[in-house]
């Protein structure tokens, strides 16, 4: 059995047993996530507003000067960090499950969990994927479109009215889908598991990969649902994410409990 070293502690790196689920389980997870949100919606909106604020600031920065081509990659790429941003909601879900107090004041209690060091490791992996996505998107843009435009209007016009722009849209979406699939496979189970259990990052990621592999079709549908909700949440000005992120955070916790034999 392989052994992972985490701050001098030996932990067995072995995937936990996973279940096969159906589309009805996805619907159940979303219903349960919505129910949790409605029960604590005031607290969750307060916490959830942080994420759209980050997206809005990123948009303002990107729409200035030479960063205009990075607006769409940054707006879309923020969702790649969603699993890390949602760890506080997993902690609230864990506390609710155990009958403990669970309001916004407990959001950062996740830092007290025994596996927080491993959470930091997986978060680092997600940050690396985000950085790789932005780099790849920028490289694709400059390869197809050349230098950055002088204005937002010029950028939009060229993007939607030239062959190079349509090629960028198609290739960029395919590339983004590949990065999103990687994040889903790595994090859909690993992040809630690390909040729930004292395991190492490798065990959590291995279990996540096993769960996705055992449920390819269902998890593809889950990824499409998440992507659609995040797109809706960005309109207008990322404000909808204050609702979408808490609901998805809770729903992902419930999905984890259905996927993994705890």
As a whole number of angstroms, the distance between CA 106 and CA 235 comes to 29
Residue 244: which of 23, 52, 29, 105 has the closest Cα? 52
At residue 3, the 3 state secondary structure works out as strand
Q: Which residues of 76-94 are buried (b: 16+ CB within 10 A; e: fewer)?
A: bbbbbbbbbbbbbbbbbbb
DSSP 20: -
At residue 197, the 3 state secondary structure works out as coil
Q: How far is CA 28 from CA 33, 35, 37, 152, 254, in A?
A: 8, 10, 14, 42, 8
H or E segment at 219? helix 216-233
Residue 91: which of 65, 68, 109 has the closest Cα? 109
As a whole number of angstroms, the distance between CA 232 and CA 95 comes to 29
Bridge partner list, 222: none
Task: Extract the residue ranges of the chain whose pLDDT is less than 70.
Answer: 1-13, 41-66, 236-238
Q: Which residue is it, tokens 């992902």?
A: 252
pLDDT at res. 56? 61
User: What are the respective helix, strand and coil percentages of the chain, to the nearest 5?
Assistant: 75, 5, 20
pLDDT at res. 218? 98
pLDDT at res. 71? 78
At CA 110, angle to CA 252 and CA 262, rounded to 5?
50
């Amino acid at each position: 059995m392989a052994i992972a070293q985490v701050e001098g502690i030996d932990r067995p790196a072995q995937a936990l047993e996973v279940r096969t689920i159906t589309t009805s389980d996805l619907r159940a997870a979303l219903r349960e996530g919505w129910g949790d949100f409605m029960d604590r919606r005031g607290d969750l909106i307060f916490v959830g507003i942080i994420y759209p604020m980050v997206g809005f600031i990123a948009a303002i920065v990107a729409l200035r000067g030479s960063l205009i081509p990075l607006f769409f990659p940054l707006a879309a790429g923020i969702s790649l960090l969603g699993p890390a941003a949602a760890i506080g909601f997993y902690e609230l879900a864990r506390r609710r499950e155990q009958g403990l107090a669970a309001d916004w004041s407990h959001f950062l209690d996740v830092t007290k969990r025994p596996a927080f060091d491993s959470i930091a490791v997986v978060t680092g992996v997600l940050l690396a994927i985000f950085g790789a996505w932005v780099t790849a998107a920028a490289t694709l843009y400059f390869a197809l479109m050349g230098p950055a435009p002088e204005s937002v209007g010029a950028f939009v016009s060229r993007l939607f009215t030239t062959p190079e722009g349509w090629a960028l849209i198609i290739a960029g979406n395919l590339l983004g889908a590949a990065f999103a699939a990687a994040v889903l496979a790595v994090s859909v189970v690993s992040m809630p598991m690390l909040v729930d259990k004292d395991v190492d990052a490798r065990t959590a990621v291995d279990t996540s990969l096993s769960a996705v592999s055992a449920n390819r079709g269902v998890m593809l549908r889950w990824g499409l649902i998440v992507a659609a909700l995040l797109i809706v949440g960005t309109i207008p000005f990322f404000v909808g994410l204050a609702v979408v992120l808490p609901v998805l955070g809770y729903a992902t916790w419930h999905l984890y409990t259905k996927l993994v034999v705890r």
